[in-house]
Structure 1
């Protein structure tokens, strides 16, 4: 009788899960295990939890859903509390397991953890599979360590030479769990311990698949994605698949296959291409992180720019994270993040640019705050985008955003600002983006902060 363990990390789904499929193949007994370890309780340099309240709730819901979906196929998920390099070898020995299967990791901390588990197990017992990307290394037209440094070159390479593999169907039956689990108490957090905290998204593969059905087939909103993707209010201006992609509740190959089915059955247009284009951006940052590793997290970044700001002004940081900078477009986005754990891509780019360039702060402090608060935090996309905005990523043009210009273009009626900044709702729409231009007495009556800094774009324009 063979026994196999599947160590789950950020791959909380049954559909298109190569590691899960491989783990179950040929096993008489099979057990899925998730470990809540010290990283789940870790704090950043500012004392903030790296796994903030919205991410915690989404993870708890995703684990609950995974447990239910596995049980429906005859399988079992066991959630354990502790270091996987300690727990998994002991569990494998207790159960007499022949192998432990998991997914390959690309970020330094996660890779170190996998390596620690491999060392703690008997040699060759840990079986790693690639997952959570559009492409596996063998499918790429370049070596993983030689990824093109710019997105346009990357896109041309992969679009011209390879296509994502077909997604693997979810199993309908799984081997039963092994005997001998009575001494292993389950540690799945209760909803009271990791509460929902106002997040608008429900974690888990079931909710992710429901979102796909809604966006692709119930509303056919995909057909207009390119025209609406820069929206700021409403449920369907964007696909909003990112929370489920971040935890592996949805597979990008699965989404790409669904885009192609939509193109065959409904319409193929710029919008359908553009959603695939955005998946390629996500893929690009994954391979950049895999190639450059820890360099992505340095202040000087991949480009080794030693002139980037070092400032860590606590007052400016607090004003930014709490939505009190005096720049309404930034403040509205930061208050949305605090309340919901979500922010549009347009908002993220502007909030990051304002922090790193206008406030002149060390960009890594802002990236760490997003890591804590974003329900869809993805290590490669978050740190890759922040590095790009800070001018230390892959884009050598070193350009920031004119936040006021962006606000007027993408929130022309100031509805988004009015929604999240109630103190400005009484102003006419054409004044909500610029309360700092109002007479002093009227500005004091608003109870809205003074502008924290003159934006860099205005200083540059004045110099010209």
Structure 2
């Protein structure tokens, strides 16, 4: 190691703990240059009049980047924040700070991999290497009991083989030192207005709130187990708390391995734990994206043709996204989504099934709407799940059909509908 500088390009890995690119960079270089780039591509307008990233998710992202900066400053480092095309910005920063190599975590979805390829090509022009790491899954790709091309299309088969034949690697330690070059201009966090968005309004009906960042993510994990202990492991509470760790997982404010090892530490049985199932579904869809790539964004998916579609697509889609379908549970769910950026997994399945199977609207429109609105959006989980519900994704024989007109299980007393749709008349199944 001789006067070597490595640029660490943060994307969806906004944490210090269990972060391989950060740990490896501090071990291999004299100095590290941590960088986050706000790419305007992710804040563009969409054909439906919305934004690729909605204001609730954007606020969570800004909070997460701010927390990463604060945590780096606490250990004597700094986060350089830039705005623009990463393929333009990163080579300029590399030349300015005499960088020898750039590290980043590999992504799997089409847009994200295209951005990586553009950055890699731009860096190659100045004779620099973009080194890829794998750090978004519970099970490392190299530890799977099958090559990517042979991954089972069935989630149940994937789960059984992985749990039987693979092990989860230990979490990585925090780097021992952070030596950062003198940064002339560390940049500023953007405001929502600068991103073309408005400040979200807090809704008094929400029973939870999300604040971005690794600091809150670790607190949330502690809260999960404290609540579980206090309630003697009440299943409903555990499922709800587990699902609400997903926003921090989506931005990598906490890693799947950290969650896994906390479960192991606190629980005797882990295989059917709600958090374990959530992590396995995340892994499953990410690996499916490695296997099938762009097919997840095609209305036909993996099948011969797309589901049947009604003639009045625009009108029906507007009814669904605005919560005016006439089905109270569906409408209440859509109101909660727009107000908070979060709905339960069962609710997601319900409103997706209703859009595709009852209203016969193009499922990709629903996936795009969720992309804008969900605070825990991640490409693989979102698009993979929508293709699955539409019957054009992985093993449609496993696709459960949720009857959105019957809220007997999800809202047995009607309290949810009363909260989010107080003036609605209930429609029985």
- Report the TM-score when normalising by structure 1: 0.85
Q: 1:216 to 1:351 in 2, by over 3 A?
A: same
1:220 aligned counterpart, secondary structure: helix
Cα shift at 1:218? 5.2
Cα shift at 1:277? 2.0
Match of 2:57 in 1: 55
Match of 1:446 in 2: none
1:16 aligned counterpart, secondary structure: coil
Structure 2: distance between partners of 1:294 and 1:108: 6
Match of 1:217 in 2: 226
Residues 106 and 290, structure 1, Cα contact 8 Å, conserved in 2:
yes
1:171-228 deviations in Å (ceiling 9; x for gaps): 253112x13x43x461411366563543820000001111001111355379636444
Structure 1, unmatched stretches of 5+, are 231-235, 425-431, 438-457, 459-464
Structure 1: distance between partners of 2:141 and 2:394: 20
Structure 1: distance between partners of 2:140 and 2:221: 23
Cα shift at 1:161? 0.2
How is 1:253-332 mapped onto 2 (pairs within 5 angstroms)? 253-263=257-267, 268-269=268-269, 273-309=273-309, 313-332=313-332
Match of 1:369 in 2: 369
Match of 2:252 in 1: 248
1:249-287 deviations in Å (ceiling 9; x for gaps): 010011001000002xxxx24796332122111111111
Match of 1:173 in 2: 177
Higher mean C-alpha deviation, range 185-194 or range 317-326: 185-194
- The answer to whether the aligner puts 1:119 opposite 2:121 as a matched pair is yes
Structure 2, unmatched stretches of 5+, are 204-208
Q: 1:58 to 1:212 in 2, by over 3 A?
A: same
Cα shift at 1:348? 0.4
Match of 1:99 in 2: 101
The number of aligned residues is: 416
Match of 1:393 in 2: 393
Structure 2: distance between partners of 1:173 and 1:270: 34
- The answer to whether the aligner puts 1:414 opposite 2:407 as a matched pair is no
Structure 1: distance between partners of 2:146 and 2:117: 25
1:236-260 deviations in Å (ceiling 9; x for gaps): 5544100000001010011001000
1:302-335 deviations in Å (ceiling 9; x for gaps): 2333444375622211111111111000011100
Q: 1:39 to 1:243 in 2, by over 3 A?
A: same
Structure 2: distance between partners of 1:22 and 1:312: 54
Match of 2:426 in 1: 433
Match of 1:145 in 2: 149
RMSD: 2.2
Structure 2: distance between partners of 1:5 and 1:311: 51
2:36 aligned counterpart, secondary structure: strand
Structure 1: distance between partners of 2:158 and 2:227: 33
Structure 2: distance between partners of 1:226 and 1:141: 31
Q: 1:253 to 1:81 in 2, by over 3 A?
A: same
1:404 aligned counterpart, secondary structure: coil
